[in-house]
Amino acid sequence: MNPLIQEIVKDPLATLLIIGNLILIESLLSVDNAAVLATMVMDLSPRNRKRALKYGIFGAYFFRGACLIFASFLIKVWWLKAVGGLYLLFLVGKWVQGKMRKSAHEEHTDKDSSRLYKLTVGKLGVFWATVISVELMDLAFSMDNVFAAVAFSNNILIILCGVFIGILAMRFVAQGFVKLMEHYPFLEACAYAVIGILGIKLSLSLYQHFYPASALSDFLNSSKVDWGTSAVTICIFFIPVITSFLFSFPKRK
pLDDT of residue 65: 77
- As a whole number, the mean pLDDT across the chain is 75
pLDDT at position 176 over 70: no
Q: Within a 10 A sphere around the Cβ of 180, how many other Cβ atoms?
A: 14
Which pLDDT belongs to residue 214?
A: 93
Is position 6 within any domain?
A: no
Prediction pTM value: 0.64
Whether residue 8 lies inside any domain: the answer is no
Residue 192 forms part of a structural domain: yes
Burial class (CB in 10 A: 0-12, 13-18, 19+), 63: buried
Task: Check pLDDT > 50 for residue 157.
Answer: yes
Q: Would you say 61 and 30 are in contact if contact means Cβ atoms under 8 Å apart?
A: no
Q: Is the peptide bond before 250 cis (omega within 30 degrees of 0)?
A: yes
DSSP string of the chain, one letter each residue = --HHHHHHHH-HHHHHHHHHHHHHHHHHHHHHHHHHHHHHTTTS-HHHHHHHHHHHHHHHHHHHHHHHHHHHHHTT-HHHHHHHHHHHHHHHHHHHHHHH---GGGGS--GGG-HHHHHHHHHH-HHHHHHHHHHHHHHHHHHHHHHHHHHH---HHHHHHHHHHHHHIIIIIHHHHHHHHHH-TTHHHHHHHHHHHHHHHHHTHHHHHH-TTSHHHHHHTSHHHHHHHHHHHHHHHHHHHHHHHHH--S---
What pLDDT is recorded for position 18?
Answer: 75
Q: In this prediction, what percent of the chain has a pLDDT beyond 90?
A: 5
Q: Region 3-10: what's the mean pLDDT?
A: 71
- How confident is residue 128, by pLDDT bands cut at 50, 70 and 90? confident
> Is pLDDT at 41 greater than 90 in this prediction?
no
- pLDDT of 177 reads 64
240 within a domain of the structure (yes/no): yes
Residue 1 maps to a domain: no
In a domain, 4, yes or no: no
Number of compact structural domains in the chain: 1
Percent of the chain with pLDDT over 70: 72
In angstroms, how far is CA 63 from the centroid of its own chain? 14
Q: Does a structural domain hold residue 142? A: yes
Provide the domain limits for residue 114: 13-247
- Domain assignment of residue 2, yes or no: no
Mean pLDDT of all residues in 116-137: 67
